[in-house]
Amino acid sequence: MRMVFRWFGEGNDLIPLDYVKQIPGVEGIVWALHDIPAGEAWPLERIKEVKEQADRYGLHLDVVESVNVHEDIKLGLPSRDQYIENYKTTIRRLAEVGVKVICYNFMPVFDWTRTDLFKELEDGSTALFFEHAKIKDLDPLELVDKIAGNSTLTMPGWEPERLKYLSTLFEQYQEVSEEDLWQHLRYFLEQIIPVAEEHNIKMAIHPDDPPFSVFGLPRIIVNKQSIERFLTLVDRPANGLTLCSGSLGANINNDVAEMVRAFADRIHFAHIRNVKTDENGDFIETSHRSADGTVDVLSIMKAYHDCGFTGYARPDHGRHIWGETCRPGYGLYDRGLGIMYLWGIWDMLERLKKEGSHAGGQ
pLDDT tens profile 187-243:
999 999 999 999 999 999 999 999 998 888 999 999 999 999 999 999 999 999 999
Angle separating helix axes 178-198 and 80-96, nearest 10 degrees: 30
Mean pLDDT on 268-285: 96
User: Active-site residue 244, yes or no?
Assistant: yes
* Confidence check: pLDDT of 57 > 70: yes
Catalytic (active site) residue 268: no
Catalytic residue (choose from 72, 244, 304, 305): 244
Is 137's pLDDT higher than 90? no
Whole-model pTM: value is 0.93
**Catalytic: which of 60, 70, 184, 271?**
271
**Can you list the positions of beta strands (E) in the chain?**
2-6, 26-31, 60-65, 101-104, 116-120, 126-130, 202-205, 239-244, 267-272, 275-277, 283-285, 312-315
Please pick, among 83, 87, 304, 330, the residue that the annotation labels catalytic.
330
State the catalytic residue, choosing from 87, 316, 320, 334. Answer: 316
Catalytic residue among 70, 184, 206, 288: 206
Quick check: 244 and 285 in contact, CB under 8 A?
no
Instruction: Assess whether 358 carries a catalytic annotation.
Output: no
Distances (CA, A) of 84 to 73, 90, 195, 254: 7, 10, 11, 32
Pick the CATH number of 2-140+178-361 from 3.40.50.720, 3.40.50.2000, 3.20.20.150, 3.40.720.10: 3.20.20.150
206 classed as catalytic: yes
Q: How far, rounded to the nearest angstrom, does the alpha carbon of residue 21 sit from its chain's CA centroid?
A: 22
165 is catalytic: no
Q: Which entry of 60, 268, 317, 320 is annotated as an active-site residue?
A: 317
162 band by pLDDT with thresholds 50, 70 and 90: low
Instruction: Answer with the residue of higher pLDDT: 34 or 302.
Output: 302
312 is catalytic: no
Pairing of strands 275-277, 283-285: antiparallel
Mean pLDDT of 321-335: 93
